[in-house]
Each structure stands twice: as C-alpha cells, then as structure tokens.
Amino acid sequence: MILGSFLAAIGQLTDRRFLRVAGIGLALSLALLVGVYAGFVQLVDWLTPDRLTLPWVGEVPWVNDLLGWGSLLLMMGLSVFLMVPVAALFSGLFLEDVAQAVEDRHYPGLAQVPHRGVYDSLIGSVNFFGVLLVANLLALLLYFFVGPFAPLLFWAVNGYLLGREYFQTVAYRRMDRRAAQALRRAWRGRIWLAGALMAAPLSLPFVNLIIPVLGVATFTHLFHRIMAEEARALPSRTRDI
C-alpha cells in the first residue's frame, strides 16, 4: 500500500500542477536561504576586525576567509534541518492543488471539494511550520547525544510529523476533523511508516524541497487506499455484530 502510493506519486511528478507548486516552494525557500545567509555573513563581517593580530603570532590575514567558508558550511548543514519547515511553510499554501491533481488523474469519479481560502491555508502552513521548526531544533540538540543513531531519530521525528500533517491535509478535504483524526489513529503505524519514507530524503539538500509535493501526493493515494480497505472491511464487521 505504501510503496504503491509512493510510486504512483513519483509517476506524476511531471504534472503541471506538481511542477508549479514545487517551483514556487523552491524559489521562495532558496530566496529565504540566500537572504538569511547574506545577513549572517554581514553579521560575521561586522563582528570581526578587518585585520586580526594575535600575540606571538602577529597578523592573521586569513581569518575572515576562514569565517566566510565556515559560515557557508554551517548554513549548508543547518539547511538540511531548517529547510524542511521552510519548504513546508511555502509549499503548504498550495498543497491542496497537488491533492486535487492526484484525484483528477487517479480518482476521477470523486465529487469536487471546496477549496480552502488563502487565510485557512496560511494558518495551517504557519502552524505546521512552527511544529516542524521546534521539533527539528530540539532534535538537532539531541543528535549530539545519540551518535550514529542520529539519522534514525531524524527519520522518526519527521516521519511522525510529516505523516500526521500530510494525512490530515488530505483527509480534511473529504471528511470532518473528528473522523479524520480517528482514521489517522486507527492507521497510525502505517501513516508513520509512510511519513518516515518521506523523511528519508530530507537529509539531502535541495531534494528535500520537493518532499511537500511528493508527500501530499503519496498520502492522497494512501488515504484513498485506506478508505477502500475500510469499505471492504465494513461488511465483515457488520456480520460480526
């Protein structure tokens, strides 16, 4: 079920609506990253003197270059963790378009759902951004203590959060919140596993920027397959009663 949903989502990555959402998220995320890096470099340049002189060593002309390259490496490292919530923030404004594109191609018989307004999409994206940012910053502190198990912690934390958010994003389009949350709890293990599959590429810079699009597409398929599984199980449950 999970692998089939994932492969179906990959097969639609060239869809025009997919590319539009991915392009917007990529452009805005990179613009923010460049802006933050430029501000950080300016701060480092302001805090360090033009020429540094050390006792018994004398003038050290290469310190600024070292700090410049060090800041670039630092930002590249932080982007692995911080670009996840940033990409989710920007792409989240348009993720319903991805879910609708999946349903139009693979589930054409479904009734149309009303599109959420910009305000609702913005609130949802900001909330998810906050949760992801706090979770990844806390996890970043724990990575120093878990050693080689850091990738597993990264996948576990983000797998849970991504699975929860993407599934609910899709489910809220087709059912009320209480029913969607009950369905998520009933299938939480599979949803977490699918979220971990989405979290695995998050450690790859720039590749992680398309994860919101791929994630919602995957969970759109997963949601409809879960609903089909629930429908098939309903007659047997009725007989048991």
| 195 touches 164 (CB < 8 A) | yes
Who wins on pLDDT, 116 or 175? 175
What residues contact residue 40 under an 8 Å CB cut-off, 6+ apart?
71, 75
Q: What angle do CA 103, 221, 167 make, to 5 degrees?
A: 105
**Using N-to-C axis directions, what is the helix angle for 211-240 and 95-106, rounded to 10°?**
60
Residue 11: how many other CB atoms lie within 10 Å: 12
54 - beta bridge partners? 58
Query: Cα 134–140–143 angle (5° rounding)?
Result: 145
Torsion over CA: 145, 148, 154, 156 (sign): negative
Of 223, 199, 225, nearest to 87 by C-alpha is 199
Highest mean pLDDT: which of 85-94, 173-182, 184-193? 184-193
Task: Label the pairing between strands 58-60 and 52-54.
Answer: antiparallel
Q: What's the pLDDT tens digit per position in 117-163?
A: 656 666 666 766 676 677 767 766 776 777 777 778 878 888 888 88
pLDDT of residue 177: 84
Q: Where are the domains of the chain?
A: 2-240
Does 58 have pLDDT greater than 50? no
As beta bridge partners, residue 52 has 60
Structure confidence at residue 38 (pLDDT) = 73
Q: 65-111: per-residue pLDDT in tens?
A: 555 555 666 666 666 555 666 666 666 667 788 888 999 999 988 88
Asked whether the predicted pLDDT for residue 170 surpasses 80, the reply is yes
Structure tokens at 199: 């979290």
Give whichever of 56-70, 79-93, 211-225 has the largest mean pLDDT. 211-225
Query: pTM of this prediction?
Result: 0.74
Compute how many other C-beta atoms are within 10 angstroms of the C-beta atom of residue 148.
6
The pLDDT of residue 83 is 61
The pLDDT of residue 191 is 93
| Strand-pair partners of 83 | none
* Lowest-pLDDT range of 166-170, 209-213, 232-236: 232-236
CB-side neighbour CA atoms (13 Å) of 107 = 20
CB atoms within 10 A of CB 70: 11
- 59 bridge partner residues: 53
pLDDT at 112 exceeding the cut of 50? yes
Mean pLDDT of 44-57: 56
Mean pLDDT (whole number) for 211-239: 82
